[in-house]
Amino acid sequence: MTTTTSTDTLLRLRDLEVRIGDASIVRGVSLDVRRGEVLGLIGPNGAGKSTLLRAATGLLPLTHGTVEVAGAPLTQLDRRARAQAIAVVQQLPEAPPTMRLAELVLLGRNPHLGLLARESAHDYAVAQDSMERAGCADLADRMLGTLSGGQRRRAFIARALAQEAPLLLLDEPTANLDVQAQCEIFELIRALAANGAGVLVVVHDLTLAATYCDRLVLLAAGSVVAQGAPHEVVTSANVARVYGDRVTVINDPSHAAPIVVPARAGDGGNP
């Protein structure tokens, strides 16, 4: 057992509310991301997952609540300090299709460069190491526009790693990937956590989330419905409440985590 110190909590959200115009998009959200853990954020389309991630990085103003990064209030960190503390991979990251993968990854070093400074040999070495860890070093010279969906995700994860931030926020890094590529991305995420990173990852697929995340937060209509271990969160009752009764949760002894499958109308729904 390791002892927990305050800096083991890399991200601490307390009673967060985000309003956009007149609408309260997220409210009453409190969660912690600890060093070495993968925390999954799940919930239906429009639940407020991406909004929560943006608010946690200071990209959206808070209406209420606090964000602390490794013990420091986010509001006390300037842009550069934030980028050194938190690396983000957005839901649909944009980049010029003719940019080379290695150039994209090197951009991750920007928060560490002095004003007008060029990248040093150390920056190139970190970028190379990041590509190797993300499993895309062999694609370094490829233009982004020529990459498959899975390769593209690896490229953006490599850029995030090049930031050398202890906290990673990933918004649906497995969307539109086939099941093998989904597993590979999650194995990569688990390896990053095993190396000491804290990861907050938005996941659409409940079975995937339950399989790979240490803990889950279930968000619906902007509020936390449940949080805890996967088998505590992905229950028939919670899933029926949030996703409706066309979904069945199976607890199969051959699989450590709950399995969520669609049930056709008339199949009896949840057992």
Contact positions toward Mg ion, by CB under 5 A? 49-50
* Positions in the binding site for ligand ADP (CB under 6 A): 20, 25, 43, 45-51
Q: Which positions ≥6 away from 174 have C-beta within 8 Å?
A: 153, 181, 182, 185, 186, 203, 204, 205, 208
Of 44 and 65, which CB lies nearer to Mg ion in the complex structure?
44
Of 20 and 125, which CB lies nearer to ligand ADP in the complex structure?
20
Q: State how far the Cα of 185 lies from the Cα of 173, in Å rounded to an integer.
A: 8
Shortest reach from residue 253's CB to ligand ADP, in Å: 32
Q: State how far the Cα of 117 lies from the Cα of 238, in Å rounded to an integer.
A: 52
Q: CB under 5 to 8 A by kind: which of ligand ADP, Mg ion, none does 6 bind?
A: none
Shortest reach from residue 216's CB to ligand ADP, in Å: 14
Shortest reach from residue 219's CB to ligand ADP, in Å: 7
Shortest reach from residue 17's CB to ligand ADP, in Å: 13
| Per-position DSSP letters for 7-40, written without gaps between them | GGEEEEEEEEEEEETTEEEEEEEEEEEETT-EEE
Of 49 and 215, which CB lies nearer to Mg ion in the complex structure?
49
Q: Which two tokens stand for residue 216?
A: 């889950």
Q: CB under 5 to 8 A by kind: which of ligand ADP, Mg ion, none does 46 bind?
A: ligand ADP
Of 177 and 242, which CB lies nearer to ligand ADP in the complex structure?
242
Partner residues linked to 26 by β-bridges: 18
